[in-house]
Amino acid sequence: MCKERLAIIQAKLFQLIEKDKEFKIFGSNEPWNGHRYVLNAAAEKNKIHDFENFMDVKLPVDYKSFITTIGDGYAGPFYGLYCLDEAVYQTGLQLGIQESEAQDDWINCFAEFPITQAQCDTYIHNLIALKKRDGSYFDRDDYPEEELPFIQLNGNPLRGALYLCEYGCGGYYILVVKGECYGQVWYSEEGKRLAPLSDSTGRTFTFFDWYEYWLDKSLRELH
């Protein structure tokens, strides 16, 4: 199933690249950090293995299959998918960890995600109960923040998540790599306020869901 889904995503990505020669999709051609649909070389599997051993973490299978098959970063939602090195750097940066810090400090970056599955389920239930829209909750503007504020961390550090890409204006997409919400993609605002991505049925987004949703949304926009 993972290989089949990966092949579908790859085909849609190549279709989007072919259709958007003029870089009309937001983030593809920003003068300072647009991804321009460039795909970095695929990550070597031994590099992933070394990373997981060093950080004492297991990356979700769909994310690993993407970066070791299609490309380790760049073409992707908004300002593009971080390569793994940049994702780790951004994760450490948000927590005040420098590259020279001790291994234990880095491992602590990937301690358990501070939100439980019960909190996630409650937020999504309340979100859908508002019945403001029928589509998925993907972009920041999809969330009725004035009526249902994002989940507040209240000073607790955002651990257990790998930064995937920059949304802009202090917003990022993150992938939960340890904890009850493992494998889910969330929206993070300044590392202080969070919201899970979900469809209108309450199903949360995996990495594949997140990336393919962006592809489908972009292709519809061009059409």
Whole-number pLDDT of residue 101: 65
107: tokens are: 């491992």
Are 106 and 160 a contacting pair, CB within 8 Å? no
| Angstrom distance (rounded) from CA 118 to CA 198 | 15
pLDDT, tens digit, for every residue of 100-131?
Answer: 666 777 888 888 999 999 999 999 999 888 87
pLDDT, tens digit, for every residue of 51-63?
Answer: 999 889 999 999 9
| Angstrom distance (rounded) from CA 211 to CA 56 | 26
Whole-number pLDDT of residue 136: 87
Instruction: Give the residue-averaged pLDDT of 177-206.
Output: 93
Specify the CATH number for the domain of residue 155. 3.40.1580.10
| Residue 23, phi-psi category: left (phi > 0), alpha (psi -120 to 50), beta (remainder) | left
Q: Nearest Cα to 181, choosing from 94, 114, 92, 123? A: 114
Instruction: Give the residue-averaged pLDDT of 23-45.
Output: 87
Burial code (b: 16+ CB inside 10 Å, e: under 16) for 13-28 equals beebeeebeeeebebb
- Where in the sequence is the domain holding 25, given as residue range(s)? 2-222
Domains held by the chain: number: 1
| Angstrom distance (rounded) from CA 222 to CA 23 | 10
Give this prediction's pTM: 0.93
pLDDT, tens digit, for every residue of 87-105?
Answer: 988 888 777 777 666 677 7
For residue 173, the surrounding DSSP H or E stretch is strand 171-176
Count other Cβ atoms within 10 Å, centred on residue 176.
22
